[in-house]
Every structure is written in C-alpha cells, then in structure tokens.
C-alpha cells in the first residue's frame, strides 16, 4: 500500500478549514495535517464544545480526506522561549498571551499543549507536531563566552517544563513530535540526540522530521533518519536551497525570505537541494509508515501552483521496495 | 527511425517467458533481450527440439515484441573463473555443474557457450551477451605481490579458452558481447583494451556496453564509447549511484545490495548518477544502431513501477540528430 | 498573467516564414521573434513596399501568433567588426556586402540597422535584438601585448558608430538589445558594464539577455540579471553544457559545434547546465515582463523534437510569485 | 617597505604585558595590538595616572616593539547587547558591571568606550578595535516571525548609542574599527553595509577586517575587502576551518570550540580554509597599509608553537607588488 | 612530550638491519618499526638463539634508536587466505611454505604468528602489526551471487583461526594490530566494525591505523579514528593519491603501482590527498600516545629523498594541544 | 642526476644580460634560457660579429651558469599572424618591422627565425623556443560562422610558411619548440595534435610545454605530456590561477593582468592551481631529460622575491624515480 500524502494547513490559515480541504482534495492529496490556529482546529472548542470534533470530521469526510496529525507549532514555541516578547504576542491567541508576563505566558502555553494532547486523543489522531522553544537558543553564537552550566541548564529547563506535559501525552496515548528547527531546543543532529537524553528517551517525545532545516545547515538528512529511526513520528516534505554566491551568507543577513541576497531560502519541494529520493528510501528502510506531509513555503511562487507539483513529486518518490534482492533471479535454475 | 528499447529478462526469471513478455508489452517495450536461464531460452531445446525456436517467436509475436539478442551471463562466467565453488553451483544447470570438478565445469561451460552461438543463429539473432569469468580477478588487490607474468597468464588463459569458442561464433555469423564488469577478465577502461589485444581484436568479440559498472568505478562511460566504438555490439541501460558519506567505501564492505551503508548501489535508471543523456548522444555519434536494453535492478523499488519509468527515460533520450548544423541557417541569404 | 513564450525564427530560416509560423503554433508557442534574414522579415520591403508589413501580420494572425521583437544579428555584427572578410560575406545580403571594402561594409551595415529601427516601428514592435561586432574582440587573448589605449579605442569606436544609430532608435521609439556574446563588444559581466558606460547609459541601448553564452564562460547569469536589471529589454532561452574532460578546452579547439571533443556546446534547453529556474525567478524579481524567446540550437537532436520540449520547460518555470510572504499566515490569529 | 606584523594580546591576558611583549619579540613580531583587559592596557590609569601611558611605551621600547592599535572587544560588546546577563558580568570589570542593571551596564560601557578613545589618543594610536553588541542578534533565526520594524529598530538603536561615542572619536582624531562577527550589529557582508548606512557612513566608524568569521559563514572575504575598501581600518589574521561531515552543523550545535563534532572551528593561521593569499593581494590592491595582526586561537595546538608559525605565514604572504606589468618587458626593444 | 616518529623497515629489507638503522638515524628518526623479514627480526632466532634479541637492541642502541613494535604482515597474510598460491610462496620463508599444501601453509603461518607474539614479549615491545588474510576477499565483487552464509562463514573462519592465536597474545601481554587493507578480513569502515564483533571485541586485537588504504576507497580516515578510538594500537604514516581522469578506474586495472594509467597510487607522505593534519589532531583527541610510523612507498621518487621529507612533515604536524580553551583568557579580569 | 633548473630571461629584458646572470646565480639557478630580445642574445651579431657568441659564454661562465635553449617568441609570432598591426610593431626590432606592410613583415620574420636556427647552432644549443602566430586565431569564437575550408586553410598557411623554416632547422641540427598558447596556431590539446599533422609530424618541430596556458583553459597538462611525449623539447615552469567568482569570466574581460576582476591570472609558481607535482612525475615517466625553465610573471609580487621561491619549488619536485618497485622488498626472503 502506498504512503499517504497530506497537506499541512499552516500556511493556508488565511482560508477557512473548509476551503483548504476543498483545495487539498482538488490537488489530489489523501489528507491534511491540521494546524491548531486560524479556524482549522480550535483546541478549546474541541474539548468543551459538543460536536466540534465531529464537525471537523464532517468537513474532512465531505472532501474524502483523512487525517493523522494536528500541529501546535506556535503555542509550543512559547513553552521554553526566553525572552518572550512582541514576536510571541503576534502568534498567540489572546487568552494565552494574557498580560504578556513571560513566565505566565510560558505556563499558559504549557497548559495549552496539554489540552492539545487531550484534544488530539478525542479527535482520534496519535501525533501532535510542534515546536518547543528554547531557553538557550539565544546564545547559539557562543559569544560572549557561555559557561557549560548555562547550556546544561537549558536542557534541564526543557525537561522540567516538558516532562509534565509528556505525562499527559502518555495518559491519553498520543505522541509529541518536535520539528527539529533553529530556535528550538534541538536544531541539528547533535542537539537532537542531546534532547532525547535530557528526558531519558521517553517514548512520548520524538521528532517531526523536516529535512529542509537540516539541509541548509549542511547536516545530512539521510544520516538523521538512520540515527533517530525509532523517534521519527511524522515527517514534513519541505524544501530549501543554498545560494551561496560569495555575498549571501548562511545566517541570512537579517534579510527576509524571498530576498535574492540571502544565502539560502525555502522553495517549493523539488526545486531545491534536499535529497528527497534518498530520504524516501531511508524512511522505507527504517520502517516509517506514516504520512508524508507537504509543508509548502516559497515566496517566489504561487501556492496553488506549488502544492500539486509537490504532491506529484511525492507520488513519484513513494516507492514500494522490491520484495526480493534483484540478483535472486539469477539463482532460479532448477 | 527511433532506436528500439528492449527489456532484459534476466531479473524476471522467476516468471515464465510468456508472463514476462506480457508485462514488457504492457509497459510499452519494443522487444526483449532473452536470458538463457529459467524457461526463457533453453539452449539444449533450441538445438535439439523441433519447434522450440519457433515457440519462442510465437510468444514474442503474440505480444508484438521483437528480439535482437540472447544472453548467457551465468554460463559464460564459468568459462575462465578460478576458483569454481558453491557460488557457481547455484547459478548453473546441473548438467554443466556435473560433479563440480573445476576444470570439468569450465570445459562444459565453454561447450555450452558454443552451443549458445549455434542456438542464437538458429533463432535468428546476431548477438550473444554475457560474461567470461577471469583467472586473475581474485588478485585485483595486487597483494600479496603479483608477478607481471601472473597477470599476463590471466589474459593468455582467456585467449586460450575463448578463441575456440569464437571460432564457432565466426562459423555461424554471430558475435559475443562481453559485459565489462568487475569479476570479469575486462572490468574497466584499460582492461577492456588489454583484452581486445589478447585476441588480436578479432571481430567476433566485442562488448555489451553497460555504463552502470563503469560509473561507480569513476570511469567515464562516454570516453569508453568513443574509444571502443567499433566493438560496441549491444548496450544495457542500467543505473548506479554513489553514496560516499565518509563511511561507505567504494568496495562495498561485503554488504549486500540495498544496504544503505554501502558506498554505491544499483538503482532504477534515471535515479542515479550515470550520464545517460551524454551516452545516448555518443552512441548516435559512433553509429551504434542496436537496441537500448533495460536491465532493471533496484532493491529499494518495485520492478513493476521501475520498468515503465526506465522506458520513459529512454524514449525521452532517444534523439534523432539534427541533419544540419544549426548555424547553417544563418547562411541562407540569397 | 503568464509570460508569453516565443520561438526565435533564426535557426529556421531554411523554411518560409509561413511554414515556421505554422510549426510554432503547432508546438504551442504564443508568438515568434522574427529574424531579419531569409524571407522572414525583409527590411527594405517593410519600408518601401506597400502592404509588406501587413502581410507579415496576416501570416501571424492566420496562425494566432504574436510578436514583440525582430532581430538583426547578422547585419549588426558588421557595424564594428574588424576585420571584415569572407565570413561576413556569407551572412550578408549582396546589397550590403557590395564590393566588400571593409569600411564600406560597416557603413552600409550601420545604415541598414537604422532602417531596421524604422521598420520595427512601422511593424509595431518596440525591440530590435542583435549583435554589434567589435573592433577589439580579436585582441581578446591580450597577446601580443595590447596597449590600454587600444582597448579604449575599441569602446570609443563602438560609441562613435552606434550613437548615430541609437539616435534613430530614439527618434522612432524603439530599443536596441545587444545579445552579450563572444565576438561582440560586450561578451561577459564586466564588459557589459563597460559598454553601457561608453554610451553614457543612454536608454536606447540595452541587452538581449542570453544565459547560454555566460554559462560556459563561468559567469553567473543570475548575477547578471540583478546587476543590469534596467537594461534587460529581451531574453533568449538558450542552453549550453560544459563537458570538460581534461582534453576538451574552454576555447573550443576550433572544432565545430556537435563535435564531442569540444569542452562545451549548445544543447536543447533543459539538457545542459544553465540554471533556468533561478533565472526565471530573478527576472520576476526585477520586473522583466517581456517574452521568453526560445533560441533552439542542438546539433545532436532534431529541432522538431526540441522546440516543443523547450516550450514545456518554459511553461513549467514561468511562475507567478506569491502575493504574500509565506509566514504572514502565522500572524492571522485574532 | 614590508607590512608590519603584530600579535594581538587578547588571548595572552593570563600573562603580564611585559611577558607577552618578551614572547612577541622572541617570536619575531614587529609589534603588538594591545587588549584593554588584564593588565595590558588599563583605560582608567591611562587617563588618570601620570606616567602610565609612558610605562606602556617603556615596556614596548625595551622589547623593540611598536603599536598601532588597542582593542576593547569586551566593553564594546556591552554597549548595544540585549539581554545583558551573567555572560557579560564575567567579561566586564566590576566598575562597569556595577549592579548589573542592563541599561546601566550599557551606558557605563558606552562611557568607557569614549574614555578608550581618549586613552588611545593620549597613547598615540589612531585605531581602537572592538565589538558593538546588538539589540537584534537574538532574533537572527527570524522565527518566531520578526516584524521589519523590529530589525529597523535594532539598527537605529545602534546609531543612537554609537553616534555620541563616535563624536568623541572625531574630537580626538581616532577611529573605531568594528570586528564583523556573529553576535554583533554587523556580522556578514550585507549587515556590514547596512550598519554603515545606519550612521550615514561617517568616517569615524569602520571595520577591523577578520576573515575567519566570514569564512565559516561562507562569505567570500576577498569580496568584502573590495566592497568596503575605504572602511578597513585594521585587520586580523585569524583562521577558521569548516569540517562539515554530515553531522556537524554550521551553527555549532552548542558544542565548545575544540570539540571534533562541531561543523567549524578556529585553528592556527595557515591550517584552515581562509584564502589568505588572495586576501593579502586584495589588501595591497585597495591600498591598506596598516599592520596584519595575528589573533591566535586554536584549542588543538600549543600557542607557543602556533604564534611563530602564523608569523612565518604572514611574512611569506606579505608581497610587494610588482612596479610594472610583467609583460612590459616584452616591449623593451629600441 | 612530543610523539616519537619511527621508520617502518619493511620497504628497506634489501638492506641489512644495521644499514637501515644507520640511515634512519641519519634522517633524524626516533626509532624503527621492525619487519619480521629479511634479516631485520628473525622470530626463530629470537626464541631459540641466545643473545639474538640483545643483538637487535645493541644495533638500535648503537644508533640511538628506540622500538615500539614489530611487524609480521607477510606471515599474517597466510593465516586465513584462500587460495594459497605462488604469490604466497614468494613472500614466505621455506619452512612455512613447506610443500605448499594450502591448509598446511595456513596452520604453519598461524603457529609462526604465535611465536611472533612470544618473540615480541621477549624483545620487550607491546604491539605486533600485521595482516590476517581472508577467506572471503576473493568474493568482494559479490558476483557470482554470494550467499549471506558464505560471508558469515568468512568472519567465522577468521575468528576460529585467530582466537587461539590471540590467546597466546593475551598470555604474553602483547597486542595484535591489523592493518585495515584490501585483501584482509577488514578493509574499510564497516568491515572493521564487523571483524571486531566476530571476536567479541576482545582487547588482544585492534588496528594498525593506516589512512592511505582508506583514502583511495573514499572512506574518511578521521571518522575511523573516532569510531575505533579504543582499538588503535599503532599507526602508519603512508600516503595515497587519487588520479581519476575518466580512464583510470578505482580498481587499478591490473596495472602495477607507478603506472600513470592507474586511478590511484601510493606516494610519499605529504604529496597525496590524505588529510594528515586532521588525522594528527584526531589522534590527539582520542588519546593515542604511540608512535607515528612512516611506511614509505612511492615508485616515482627515491626513498632516500622521501624518508626525511616524510619525517619533516610529521614533526610539523605533531602538535601539543593547548592546555586551556583559547577564550578562557577573556575571563581573566579581576 | 637531478634536472637542471633555468631562468627564462624574457621578463628581465630591462636589465643587461650580465645583470640577469648575476641575479640568476645569486638565486641559485643552474642556467638561463636566453631571450632573443633586449641585449640578451642578438641574432644578427651572433651570425656576423666575431666573438659575439663567445662573449655570451664568457658572461655565463663568469657566473657559473649553463644554457640549453634560446627563445624567439616575439619574432616567431609574426610569421603567421593576420592581421599584423601596431601590436607587432611594438615587439619587433625596426629592421623586421620595416615599412609595416603585413606580408613583408611576415617574410622578414620568417627569415629571422631561420637565422635564429643558425645562431643557435653556432652558439651550441639544440632548441629554439617560440611562438608561430596564426592566421585563424582571430576566428576562434567561430562566429560569424566559419567555413571548414577556412580552418583548413589556416593550418595549410602554417605549413607553407614553416616548412621552409624547418628545413633550415634540420640542416643545422636544431629543433623548434612551439609554446602552445592562445593566439598561436596550436593553443590546446586538440589543436596541438592537428598542427603536428599539418607538417606530417616532422621531428624538427615540437613543443615548449608550458602548463599555465593549458590550466586556465581547463585542459589537463598531465594528459598533454603523455599524448605528446615525443614532441616535448623544452618546458616552462609558469603558473596560473583561476578565480571564477561568478563575475570574472574565463575570457579575461579585456582586463589587464593583475586586475582582481579577471577570471584567471598568472602568478608566481606554487601559488596557483597548476598540478606541478604530477607534471614533474609525468615528465620523468616519458623520459624528458631537459631543463625546467622558470618563466616568472606575477603582477602582484616582486620578481626578486618570486624567482628564488619558484626555484625552491622546482628543487623539491625534481624527484629521482625509485629504481625498484616498492613492494619488491617484500619478496626478499631466502
């Protein structure tokens, strides 16, 4: 059976959930990964309002779509972040932002992620994708000199804040999948391993594997798949490109996405440098059977053109492995 | 007239010949290159049994397929190999293996290849593809130190064993096309030239050009085409990929195909690194007019998905050269 | 609105204009860029013969094609070239070649380009593409040693000969677009800037951007687009490939196109190394709204196969930029 | 006259100034760039204590060394940084840290830099090197989404805080040379240009060009030299290496320098990837006549071995350009 | 204390031991790694003849040289090899070759290696370097198809033959260091790990790390050092170069060393592609404190020129790591 | 016996011959290659003036220098060039330039080269190095389209003009060595072969192998050595570098040497990209026993610093090949 291909609704939150589903179906997707923002999936209503969860399924069923995961990137980001400032205000609903006191925001965000676990269980999906934030991302440049204890404290802060959340995930039988990403507690190969260690590799916590963030950092996504095979709970098909011409730098120069002077950018899947063919084969090898979820971001292209193109690439790469070694046929003489 | 594209049946020997032909036709192929193993083409029956040869054509005609070559890789391998051991037993029919005495095996294999030449003639094709084996492949590492005379003896052994076979090929007007391949007497650019020299470049012997084996050795397949243009009697469209990540080595680590730790592997045509576009143009340049025969091997992909995809690539690359230089039009003023 | 894709008729001058238009339409093109040679567009008739200009439009209209530019590469080449010799004779109509006296040829060529401006205006297009020739191309190797004053004189000769021509372009409201190309006054990144300076960047003169000539010289075509954004008046979709194998050299060895020994060659768009995707995005970024015009040259391929294939590539790459930054959606919470 | 080579004393602050000078002389250096920390150069004493400035020169003269610049990286860092925290406390003298209130620290740091300008003037050097800190470095990942106004505000904050400081530099005839470096207001090619713009390119402010920080970001240091030629007031010979093996990432993974898992590191000059030869030629081209100052940092090597080795490399690369073009001699016939 | 640099005497066995030592001293080496062939170190005499061991030390002491290891590559090769043929005869003393019956040769070789352990102990060194041979090297091409059980059997044969030998090594407190090398049981990254597993990682068996054999196979020698850090018992400074020009292949074409057509070759240390600087730093990191032993092989250069040049390179690369992190000095304010 | 290293005096023609010799000796050179311009070697005086030839040897002997070749690049250039113009005037003595009529110049240049052969014989050297000029270099861009007959005519013109000259070389037993170089009849790999064919490979004509001109064209100099082994009569140690940064083009942009914007440049030997180590080994392989002659050109460096540095590189690379294969020692057991 082929792998299902889903569309992540996060970049389409300006549209109603019904409209996104209509588009996804028209493009040919098998399902959607639903963002917990906009009107796509509202956690409070899911827990408190009769019929809300069913209303989401009604829309999905109307369009013949399935769903395997919901996503809480924006709220998750606020659990560990330090500082908390106007950037966070702009991505949070007002009841979580409240008066904006940093620690209050973090605690309300933590509670919201717990609720999201319960809502996912009620909705009937097994995975919540998202970010975690980080207390130590801000010292990534390691200058002025950073004491080792400061780094250790960052991982401990993560464990202290997320273990109680993960208890709820265990309780309701759902998993949290961190998208390894700059500005999170884990953002590359080695930090991914370190963060698992911080929570004693408890199974409730794993990764939403997104190769686009690794590629521009020059980390090999294929090696990541084999190393963390048992913690890949979900994946994103998202693409990036490196355009290092001697002027653009790898740090982005404080230029916005889509500005040609940048040293790297996000582009529509299939138009950058991520080795998706080797990635799909590696996911087959390690036995990942979940969906491939297209997260579409490209400032130089129209999303209505890009989303079906990305889907077509996934279909082509979604290989069923040969059941036998190819040279077995040589031995077929009687 | 476009070049015919055929499917090599060797990797489909677990199916009956009729079933393979049905599939090849459904995929859209123009013909097949028939393996002399499984029930696809049985040399004994072809020579001794009335109507056998016609029965093969009946199956081909039923499916609207053509045929330009048959292949005897497995038996050919045993003509020069030393040692002969259990690996050979598993690929030979019992009447050639016999009691397994190495020299007896080699001589029976040599006789079988002669018969194969006669069977090809009777069947009406002009080319037999295959391997040769090698007495000196085992010393390819050149350690313990190898005397130059030992290498020379290897080429002489090849000539001594194959010249009588090639006499039969001359007699019946058929050619033998060695697939240049590790474990054979010729396995790269320089050994290909040396082996032609060993038999005084007699025309009965040439090559089944398969770029996949050259590519992973870092030999340029395009240069091979121009250098040995007059000895390219057949070709394989087979693909390989290099995945050298600092751990996988070029010798394969005694790991089996499909194991991601290997430094190179075979993959479906179009998904690796072989420069097929330049190869097809080079074959046009040197006047090769025979078929492009797809040898499909990829442990990470289903062959029913791969075979039509490979065909599509060949169709796209099968160019008819321009009849005139493009800048001739500039001179068309009266 | 998508960008129009046109076919340059220069490589099809062995066919009548009507036949070329029929083919272009059948391939699916939106229009043609008409060469001023063969019977495609005859400048004298356009200026002197009643109804000639309308006859061209009649043919275009019959096939449902549009036109945004005409091209005078061959005559333009002769304005500055030194020496003038048999090569020029073979590309010029006899009334310009006349007795072949070099200076006479140059002056007649200059007059013809002026007429071409007037013909373009009468025909109703705003751009004439072409070459300029060069008095100093012949000293590109800079040996024997070349005095700086000799180079300066080359640029001055260009300005002296072209300023009067450009006056006519200004008079009739048409622009001249030089195809930056070896053997012209501007042939790479730095010479392009120098030539604009030579004529004080007067707006009548700009470029027909053709990346194939930059690519094999190892100049980044994308950088060219951003640097000379305001002088890109037209563009060619033409492809080249580098095949540097240690023998082929970057200067071409005086070997003709299509000879596999060359270090680079022209090939059908999409089959070489030009980064067309980044180029199309860059052209969007700088606001170029004109046609993409396919100049098809490939000695190893049939042009009837190549022209539609090139068109398909253009359609795929012709992107409509996203109206909003992709992460704007994150901010859509109320 | 050859370029002077100096040793930056910052990494030797565990030794007394006299001891460092003794070593520098023994290694063969021409002079030192003096750090304003440890006992090397104390700004307060320089301004307030009779004879302090002369005491520094006495030590220099005793060892036959010269001096062209002093450096205030640590204090400069605190002028714009946000947040201000324990990392800053550990690098500041207590009278600047005071009670640690962030804005107080910033203002005291600003005053200290003004004093440093006066001390430099009194000491008789024309350049103070250092950092600036940055209010917006912490949002370099641009996620959560950053409003353009927030970035603009960062540059404005820099201008507001540094313009009054630069007024003092102008008053005493000294220049401030920012070391472009991650965690500063300018950290790569584009931000360097942006920061000059923020202060209207006033001449008091330029750069201490250090290629090691650009190299690992994949910015071409040679291009930087040509672009900002008139703002290069000093330079560091410091080396870095990229060791991107598919695991190490370009952001450093929160691993400390010297850890082999990092994707890049600092190493002794000549043992990494910085193109020093092209850099020295470029500095010659643009007319930079100041010292080359070795900033030596390498956790895998002893500094007493590294410092003379770095000096030897500088001497080898310190080329006197040819007075005439080499081919001028061809023309010397009478 | 710096690392000692030794010269391996194996490539100088045409000279007497005394002469080699005289040369090594004159070149400046600290000691030698003694080959157990020629008259350099004779195992039988060491065990049976009074004063033989002392006679070796007398020669060493006369020249002021030290010794940390002896080497038995040639005899070790014969323990597992299959086939055993004329190549082995030419490298073995007659008492081991005997009648040449393969299994007899293998068993006599195994006994000789046990004796070598005892001789090493008597001589007072802790490491014996050498080869192991391999029953499965001959099937490295994996064609004819090789059953997984055949590979497993190869590793088991190794364990069966070497465990009794390693018992003797344990008994006398000496270690065996396999040089990972094509034609041995371990020849690259993955086979090195597999062979340790075959003998349950018993400490008596480790590696003589020689990067030249890994480099041409495209395996990263630095990764090898970190992965097998606790099994690096000795190291060779030997160099190789890749000269892949499209014709030369990575398998060597049965051409002898020094033939320019080969795709790779051995050259004098410092003249090829092995990343020795990163290797020496890695060896420091993992705490390897043994000698760096120059194995000099280069058919294009005189060994008397090469050996001192290789020594000079080692001296330059033999770094003493910095005792403190370089940025510690920043924190030295009071 | 080591290879002699000479200094080519062409770039030192502003100095007297005596002064150049004094410098060469002081640098440590073994001899000089003498330019036939300036006062270094005057052909007329050599033939007509008693004692002139001896006077040259007196100077050489005074400084302990030897000589194997003289060079006539400037006059040789004028034999075939078309056009002949002011550039040629500046490099020719007035008696050859005469009235500047092109054909007259060519014929006088041809006579001068004949005289140079006679002067070389009288002087006692066996090789004259130089250029040839070319009638077809000017059409290297192959646009406007060039008829094949025009190219053929260029090679024929070369043969017609040089065969009579080469008759004189045969008569006096001296050889002419063309420096393969852009602007000459042969300028890369393929044209070198074509030009030998044009004169039926007569032994009087061969090459002064100079890798710097091949390298920037991306032609492998090592392949050139093996292909034209029997025609390498002399060699230059001259260096070039490629600095392709996306702006600089491979054709040089009509920028002068030393301008950083160029895509390639000449630099001091050892500071560019020419693979000199592989070249010296290849020259050993093919049995070239002549001098290595340093032609020093670098606009960014002082020649008095560069010339001894280049010599040091040559000494290091001038290897005496090993007399025996390195693994022969393995077989030395009795």
Q: Does E326 touch chain A (CB under 8 A)?
A: no
Exposed, middle or buried: residue B206 (CB in 10 Å: 0-12, 13-18, 19+)?
buried
Nearest CA to A159 among A135, A190, A124? A135
Nearest CA to C69 among C134, C4, C165? C4
**Closest-CA residue in chain F for E258?**
F325
Residue B333 has pLDDT above 50, yes or no: no
Q: Does B50 touch chain D (CB under 8 A)?
A: no
Would you say C103 and C156 are in contact if contact means Cβ atoms under 8 Å apart? no
Cα D274 off chain centre by: 16
Provide the number of CB pairs (under 8 Å) joining chain D to chain E.
Answer: 72
Which of D277, D285, D333 is closest, CB to CB, to F260? D285
Do D246 and A188 lie within an 8 Å CB cutoff? no
Provide the number of CB pairs (under 8 Å) joining chain A to chain E.
Answer: 11
pLDDT tens string D299-310: 998 999 999 999
Do A322 and B305 lie within an 8 Å CB cutoff? no
Q: Does C144 touch chain D (CB under 8 A)?
A: yes
Mean pLDDT, to the nearest integer, of E178-185? 97
- Spatial CB neighbours of D179, under 8 Å, sequence gap ≥ 6: D73, D129, D130, D131, D207, D208, D210, D213, D236
* Sign (positive or negative) of CA dihedral B162, B164, B168, B170: positive
Determine what percent of chain C is predicted with pLDDT higher than 90.
Answer: 89
Q: Does C326 touch chain D (CB under 8 A)?
A: no
> What distance in Å separates residue C183's CA from the closest CA in chain A?
28
The chains in contact with chain B, meaning 3 or more Cβ pairs closer than 8 Å, are A, C, D, E, F
Residue E257 has pLDDT above 60, yes or no: yes
Mean pLDDT, to the nearest integer, of D118-129? 98
Q: Does D144 touch chain C (CB under 8 A)?
A: yes
The per-residue pLDDT for D319 is: 84
**Closest-CA residue in chain D for A151?**
D254
The per-residue pLDDT for A59 is: 98
Mean pLDDT, to the nearest integer, of F222-239? 97
d(CA C47, CA C28): 31
Do A300 and C284 lie within an 8 Å CB cutoff? yes
Do A143 and D182 lie within an 8 Å CB cutoff? yes
Chain D neighbors of A263, CB-CB under 8 A? 217-218
Q: How far is CA B87 from CA B102, E95, E143, E144, E148, in A?
A: 12, 34, 8, 6, 11
Residue D323 has pLDDT above 70, yes or no: no
Determine what percent of chain E is predicted with pLDDT higher than 90.
Answer: 92
How many residues belong to chain B? 334
Chain F neighbors of B143, CB-CB under 8 A? 327
The per-residue pLDDT for F54 is: 97
Mean pLDDT, to the nearest integer, of F79-92? 94
Cα F204 off chain centre by: 16
Determine what percent of chain F is predicted with pLDDT higher than 90.
Answer: 86
Tokens for F64?
A: 């302990």
Phi, psi of F291, rounded to the nearest 5 degrees? -75, 160
Residue E324 has pLDDT above 80, yes or no: no
Q: What does the DSSP assignment read for E41-98?
A: --HHHHHHSTTHHHHHHHHHHHHT-B--EEE-HHHHHHHH-SS--HHHHTTS-HHHHT
Which of E145, E327, E330 is closest, CB to CB, to A327? E145
Would you say E144 and B87 are in contact if contact means Cβ atoms under 8 Å apart? yes
SS3 A135: coil
**Closest-CA residue in chain D for F306?**
D319
d(CA B178, CA B72): 10
pLDDT tens string B26-81: 999 999 999 999 899 999 999 999 999 999 999 999 999 999 999 999 999 999 99
- Spatial CB neighbours of E220, under 8 Å, sequence gap ≥ 6: B246, B247, D245, E214
Chain C neighbors of A12, CB-CB under 8 A? 329
pLDDT tens string C105-134: 999 999 999 999 999 999 999 999 999 999
Which of D220, D222, D329 is closest, CB to CB, to F14? D329
Would you say F224 and F192 are in contact if contact means Cβ atoms under 8 Å apart? yes
**Closest-CA residue in chain F for B328?**
F145
Do A92 and C333 lie within an 8 Å CB cutoff? yes
Tokens for B318?
A: 């099968």
Q: Does D246 touch chain B (CB under 8 A)?
A: yes
Provide the residue-wise pLDDT of chain A in tens; the chain has 334 residues.
589 999 999 999 999 999 999 999 999 999 999 999 989 999 999 999 999 999 999 999 999 999 999 999 999 999 999 999 999 999 999 999 999 999 999 999 999 999 999 999 999 999 999 999 999 999 998 888 888 899 999 999 999 999 999 999 999 999 999 999 999 999 999 999 999 999 999 999 999 999 999 999 999 999 999 999 999 999 999 999 998 888 888 888 888 888 888 899 999 999 999 999 999 999 999 999 999 999 999 988 889 999 999 999 999 998 888 766 666 666 544 4
A214-245: b or e for each residue (b if 16 or more CB lie within 10 Å)?
bbbbbbbbbbbbeebeebbbbbbbbbbbbbbb
Phi, psi of E178, rounded to the nearest 5 degrees? -75, 130
d(CA A118, CA E179): 58
pLDDT tens string D263-321: 999 999 999 999 999 999 999 999 999 999 999 999 998 999 999 999 999 999 988 87
Do E329 and D300 lie within an 8 Å CB cutoff? no
Q: Does E261 touch chain C (CB under 8 A)?
A: no
Residue E95 has pLDDT above 60, yes or no: yes
The per-residue pLDDT for F185 is: 97
Do D253 and A189 lie within an 8 Å CB cutoff? yes
d(CA F162, CA F128): 14
Chain D neighbors of B246, CB-CB under 8 A? 245-246
Mutate to test the interface with B, among C88, C247, C260 (most CBs of B within 10 A): C260
Do D188 and A151 lie within an 8 Å CB cutoff? no
Residue D256 has pLDDT above 50, yes or no: yes
Would you say F87 and C150 are in contact if contact means Cβ atoms under 8 Å apart? yes
The per-residue pLDDT for C334 is: 40
Q: What does the DSSP assignment read for F241-290?
A: EE---SSS-TT-TTPPTT-TTSSEEEE-TTSSS--HHHHHHHHHHTT--S
Q: How far is CA E13 from CA E17, E291, F324, in A?
A: 8, 21, 13
**Closest-CA residue in chain D for C326?**
D145
Residue B220 has pLDDT above 50, yes or no: yes
Mean pLDDT, to the nearest integer, of C188-210? 97
Which of E285, E319, E329 is closest, CB to CB, to D301? E319
D5 forms bridges with which residues in the sheet?
Answer: D292
The per-residue pLDDT for F319 is: 85
The per-residue pLDDT for A320 is: 82
The per-residue pLDDT for D247 is: 85
Q: What does the DSSP assignment read for B97-151?
A: HTT--HHHHHHHHHHHHHHHHHHHHHHT-SEEEE----SSGGGTT--S---HHHH
Mean pLDDT, to the nearest integer, of E47-72? 97
- Put residue A270 in one of left, alpha, beta given phi > 0 → left and psi -120 to 50 → alpha: left
Q: Does F245 touch chain A (CB under 8 A)?
A: yes
**Mean pLDDT of all residues belonging to chain C:** 94
pLDDT tens string F286-322: 999 999 999 999 999 899 999 999 999 999 998 888 7
The per-residue pLDDT for D320 is: 80
Do D38 and E333 lie within an 8 Å CB cutoff? yes
Mean pLDDT, to the nearest integer, of E132-144? 94
pLDDT band per the 50, 70, 90 thresholds, residue F334: very low
* Sign (positive or negative) of CA dihedral E20, E23, E27, E28: positive
Fill in the DSSP letter of residue D264.
Answer: E
Residue F189 has pLDDT above 90, yes or no: yes
**Closest-CA residue in chain E for B91?**
E144
Would you say D249 and D214 are in contact if contact means Cβ atoms under 8 Å apart? no
Q: Does D318 touch chain A (CB under 8 A)?
A: no
Q: Does A134 touch chain D (CB under 8 A)?
A: no
The per-residue pLDDT for B332 is: 44
SS3 E226: helix
The per-residue pLDDT for A332 is: 46
Chain A neighbors of D74, CB-CB under 8 A? 144
d(CA C121, CA C53): 11
d(CA B130, CA B75): 8
User: What ipTM, to 2 d.p.?
Assistant: 0.90
Q: Does C320 touch chain F (CB under 8 A)?
A: no
The chains in contact with chain D, meaning 3 or more Cβ pairs closer than 8 Å, are A, B, C, E, F
> What distance in Å separates residue E57's CA from the closest CA in chain F?
22
> What distance in Å separates residue B143's CA from the closest CA in chain F?
9
The per-residue pLDDT for E320 is: 79
Nearest CA to E170 among E200, E146, E144? E200
Provide the number of CB pairs (under 8 Å) joining chain C to chain F.
Answer: 153
Q: Does D140 touch chain A (CB under 8 A)?
A: yes
Residue C283 has pLDDT above 50, yes or no: yes
Residue D325 has pLDDT above 70, yes or no: no
d(CA A8, CA F220): 51
The per-residue pLDDT for A333 is: 47
**Mean pLDDT of all residues belonging to chain D:** 93
């Amino acid at each position: 059976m082929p792998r299902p291909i889903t569309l992540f609704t996060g970049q389409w939150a300006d549209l109603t959930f019904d409209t996104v589903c209509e588009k996804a179906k028209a493009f040919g997707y098998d399902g959607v990964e639903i963002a917990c923002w906009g009107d796509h999936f509202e956690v409070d209503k899911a827990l408190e309002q009769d019929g809300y969860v069913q209303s989401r399924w009604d829309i999905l069923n109307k369009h013949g779509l399935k769903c395997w995961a919901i996503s809480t990137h924006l709220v998750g980001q606020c659990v560990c972040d330090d500082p908390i400032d106007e950037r966070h205000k702009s991505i949070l609903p007002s009841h979580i932002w409240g008066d904006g006191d940093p620690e209050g925001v973090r605690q309300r965000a933590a509670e919201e992620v717990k609720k999201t676990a319960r809502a996912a269980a009620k909705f009937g999906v097994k995975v919540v994708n998202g970010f975690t934030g980080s207390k130590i991302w801000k010292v990534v440049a390691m200058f002025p000199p950073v004491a080792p204890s400061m780094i250790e404290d960052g991982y401990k802060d993560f464990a202290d804040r997320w273990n109680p959340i993960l208890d709820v995930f265990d309780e309701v039988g759902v998993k949290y999948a961190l998208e390894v990403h700059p500005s999170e507690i884990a953002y590359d190969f080695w930090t991914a391993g370190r963060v698992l260690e911080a929570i004693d590799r408890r199974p409730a916590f794993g990764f939403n594997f997104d190769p686009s963030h690794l590629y521009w950092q020059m980390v090999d996504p294929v090696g990541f798949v084999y190393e963390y095979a048992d913690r890949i709970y979900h994946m994103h098909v998202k693409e990036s490109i490196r355009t290092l011409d001697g002027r653009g730098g790898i740090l982005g120069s404080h230029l916005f996405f889509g500005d040609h002077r940048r040293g790297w950018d996000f582009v529509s899947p299939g138009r950058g440098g991520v080795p998706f063919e080797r990635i799909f084969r590696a996911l087959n090898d390690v036995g990942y059977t979940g969906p491939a979820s297209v997260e579409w971001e490209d400032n130089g292209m129209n999303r209505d053109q890009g989303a079906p193109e990305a889907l077509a690439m996934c279909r082509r790469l979604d290989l069923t492995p040969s059941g036998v070694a190819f040279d077995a046929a040589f031995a077929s003489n009687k």
